[in-house]
Amino acid sequence: MFDLVIRDGLIVDGSGLPARRGDVAITDGKVVSVGGRAGEAKHNVDASGRAVAPGFIDPHTHYDAQLCFDPYAFPAIEHGVTTVVPGNCSLSPAPLPANQREAFSRMFRLIEEMPKDAFDAGVDWRWGEDFGQYLDVIAQDLAINVAPLVGHSVIRLSVMGDDARNRTATDNEIAAMCALLDKCLEAGAIGLSTSFVDIDDTYQPVPSRWAAPEELDALAAVLGAHSAVLQIVHEFYDADLTIARVNQLAELSVAHQITTTLSPLFHNAAAPNEVQRVLDAVEAARQRGAAVWPQMQTRPIDISFTLHQRSLMLLTMPAWWKVASIAEHADKVAAVIADKEKLAAEMDAIQQRRSGLGAGEFVVRQVVHERNANLVGRTIDDIAEERGCTHGEAVVDIVIDEDLGTWFIRESIGHDQSEAIGAMLADPNVHVGASDGGAHVGSFSTFGDTGYLFSEFVRTTGSMSLEQAVKKITLDPATIWGIEGRGLLAPGYAADVVVFDPDTIARGPEVASEDFPGEGIRWIRRQEGVDTVVVNGAVTWTAQDGYIDSARAGVIATR
Amino acid sequence: MPQRRYVHPEPGDDLAAIAARECPEVEDPNTLLSWNLHLAARPGGRGSVLPSDLVFVEPPLKAQ
| pLDDT reported for residue B44 | 64
- Please check the confidence at residue B45 and state whether its pLDDT lies above 60: yes
Residues of chain A with Cβ-Cβ distance to B4 below 8 Å are: 240, 243-244
Which amino acid, one-letter code, is at A412? S
Q: How far apart are CA A104 and CA A91, in angstroms?
A: 8
Alpha carbon A252 to its chain centroid, in Å, reads 24
| pLDDT reported for residue B62 | 76
B8 to chain A, closest Cα gap in Å: 7
**Which residue of chain A has the CA closest to B49?**
A210
pTM above 0.90, yes or no: yes
- Please say whether the dihedral angle defined by the alpha carbons of residues A17, A18, A22 and A24, taken in this order, is positive or negative: positive
Q: Does this complex have an ipTM over 0.90? A: yes
Q: How far apart are CA A51 and CA A47, in angstroms?
A: 7
| pLDDT reported for residue A338 | 96
| pLDDT reported for residue A161 | 97
A474 touches B at CB < 8 Å: no
Q: How confident is the model at residue B64 (pLDDT cuts 50, 70, 90)?
A: low
- Out of B38, B51, B63, whose CB is closest to A241? B38
Q: State mean pLDDT over B22-37.
A: 90
| pLDDT reported for residue B2 | 78
Q: Which residues of chain A have pLDDT under 70?
A: 352-357
Q: How far apart are CA A213 and CA B8, in angstroms?
A: 7
Check A212 against B1: CB less than 8 A apart: no
B22 to chain A, closest Cα gap in Å: 17
| pLDDT reported for residue B63 | 67
A482 touches B at CB < 8 Å: no
Residues of chain B with Cβ-Cβ distance to A248 below 8 Å are: 54
**Which residue of chain A has the CA closest to B44?**
A204
Residues of chain A with Cβ-Cβ distance to B6 below 8 Å are: 244
Check B38 against A238: CB less than 8 A apart: yes
Check A240 against B50: CB less than 8 A apart: no
| pLDDT reported for residue A315 | 84
> What CA–CA distances, in Å, run from A225 to A39, A192, A461?
44, 13, 42
- Count of alpha carbons within 13 angstroms of residue A427, beta-carbon side: 21
CB A249 within 8 A of CB A230: yes
Q: Which residues share a beta bridge with A437?
A: A61
